[in-house]
Amino acid sequence: MPDMFKEAVISEEDVMCGTTASECQEESRSITDEAAERIIKYLINHKKIPADLPDSLVTSSRDAKALNGFPKHLIPSETECTECGQHAGLGDPQLVSSTANILTMTGVVKGISTYRKTCPNCSMVYRYQNWEDGIHNFNDHLLLSIHLCLVLRNALQTHTAVSRIIEMIEYTEGETFPNKDRILQAYLSFEGLSDHDYQYACISCGYHPAVVVMDLHKKGVFSMPVSEIPNPPQHYNGEVNARSFWEAVTMEVIIRGLYPPGCRNPFVVKPTYHNWSPWIGPQTRRSDILINTESEKVHLPDSNSDAEQILTEERLADEVLNLKLPEIRKLCSQCGIDNRGSKMDLVLRLRDKMASRVTYNKVFDKVWGAS
């Protein structure tokens, strides 16, 4: 049995996330890693939110605060255990919090009580997760109305940050919401539990275009030093299971609701060359096995070089941009590349040629010497 969560220091900001310090400390002792994994797998298999929600549900979720339509006591609907195979009756509901909050587009509904049930045979824990009530439960303390979740989704799809929407509601309603980062995590768990209907396709070629043109989306990536990424296994062939990888990412996002702020989360997906998958739609890809060739972009400098740093081709090209135009022209001439054109034209030509080890080494030596 895995060790229980280690105690964490709970800051005032964490308390504002919808969990009091005492509740957070108590919850950190009440669940194991194995139990958390069982809970999340059950939610993914049995509590998925449909892609097309009924209009009546969205409308009732929108108006529930004004009409006092949200239930005050949120109790799991399960009556028998589905995990141990004995269909044992679950124990009485156990109170988790009597001060939970439901966030809506028109403010906060306070004083909500949340409960859980436990199987007496296998100790499986069932938490409240009934989207049919127009509520998404994040961590039994912080809950979102389904309507608010859909608003946040539409905001992101129109390039509006979640924090901006929350600030707008706070200014309009004159209320203070919990920590915005925690609200973002709650919204992401809603998306993790949603059954998305992925329909992206070329209007002419359908799901199987002959050519796919991809570009870098810098707002959708994160910066990470190459030195922190372990090298792939010796005989790694670049294959990665896309389904397994993205299921692990989904589990990490959802399971944050079971781990109080500051507690260790053993389900974090750590970036590695051999455990990172591109996203290609299930209708477009031939199988779940995709190719990840990121490790091939990393080149080691010559052994006689004073450099101890490994630079990717993209990073090296960015460093070339810091050189002056005459230096870049000279570098192009040394590499046998046309040195006419703008600075960006020259950098792009160098980048295309850096697949060659000889060109890469020349560019590396020039950049390192000028850095």
Is 202 domain-assigned? no
CA distances from 272 to 235, 254, 259, 351 (A): 15, 21, 24, 24
Coil vs helix vs strand at 134: coil
Per the structure block, which two tokens stand in for 312?
């990717």
Cα(141)–Cα(126) distance, integer angstroms:
15
Q: Is pLDDT at 5 greater than 50 in this prediction?
A: no
Report pLDDT for 27: 54
Average pLDDT, the chain: 81
Report pLDDT for 129: 95
The per-residue pLDDT for range 289-305, each reduced to its tens digit, is 998 887 777 654 444 44
Is 73 domain-assigned? yes
Is there a single domain that holds both residue 17 and residue 160? yes
Q: In the structure, what pLDDT confidence band is assigned to residue 214 with cuts at 50, 70 and 90?
A: low
Is 6 domain-assigned? no
Q: In the structure, what pLDDT confidence band is assigned to residue 17 with cuts at 50, 70 and 90?
A: very low
The per-residue pLDDT for range 181-194, each reduced to its tens digit, is 999 999 999 999 99
Q: For the residues 265-270, what does the mean pLDDT come to?
A: 87
CA distances from 63 to 26, 59, 75, 300, 368 (A): 34, 6, 21, 60, 61
Is there a single domain that holds both residue 169 and residue 80? yes
Q: Is pLDDT at 357 greater than 80 in this prediction?
A: no
Is there a single domain that holds both residue 351 and residue 244? no
Is there a single domain that holds both residue 39 and residue 93? yes
Cα(254)–Cα(244) distance, integer angstroms:
15
Is there a single domain that holds both residue 173 and residue 136? yes
- Cα 331 to its chain centre, rounded Å, is 41
Among 281, 296, 311, the domain-final residue is: 296
Whether the Cβ atoms of residue 72 and residue 112 lie closer than 8 Å to each other:
yes
Q: How many CA atoms lie within 13 A of 11 on its CB side?
A: 6
CATH number, domain of 321, equals 1.10.720
Is there a single domain that holds both residue 117 and residue 152? yes
What sections of the chain are H helices per DSSP?
A: 12-15, 21-29, 33-46, 55-67, 146-157, 162-173, 180-193, 242-255, 313-320, 325-334, 343-353, 357-370
**SS3 per-residue string spanning 246-261:** HHHHHHHHHHHHHCCC
Split into its structural domains, the chain has a count of 3
Q: For the residues 212-219, what does the mean pLDDT come to?
A: 64
Q: For the residues 157-162, what does the mean pLDDT come to?
A: 92
Is there a single domain that holds both residue 366 and residue 292? no
The per-residue pLDDT for range 302-335, each reduced to its tens digit, is 444 444 445 566 667 777 777 888 888 888 888 8
Q: Is pLDDT at 146 greater than 60 in this prediction?
A: yes
Is there a single domain that holds both residue 68 and residue 169? yes
Q: In the structure, what pLDDT confidence band is assigned to residue 281 with cuts at 50, 70 and 90?
A: confident
- Percent of the chain topping pLDDT 90: 42
Is 36 domain-assigned? yes
Is there a single domain that holds both residue 140 and residue 270? no
Is 167 domain-assigned? yes
Q: For the residues 33-49, what does the mean pLDDT come to?
A: 91
Q: Is pLDDT at 29 greater than 60 in this prediction?
A: no
The residue range of the domain holding 288 is 222-296
Number of H helices, E strands in the chain: 12, 10
Cα(275)–Cα(253) distance, integer angstroms:
17
The per-residue pLDDT for range 220-264, each reduced to its tens digit, is 666 666 667 777 888 888 899 999 999 999 999 999 998 887 777
- Percent of the chain topping pLDDT 70: 77
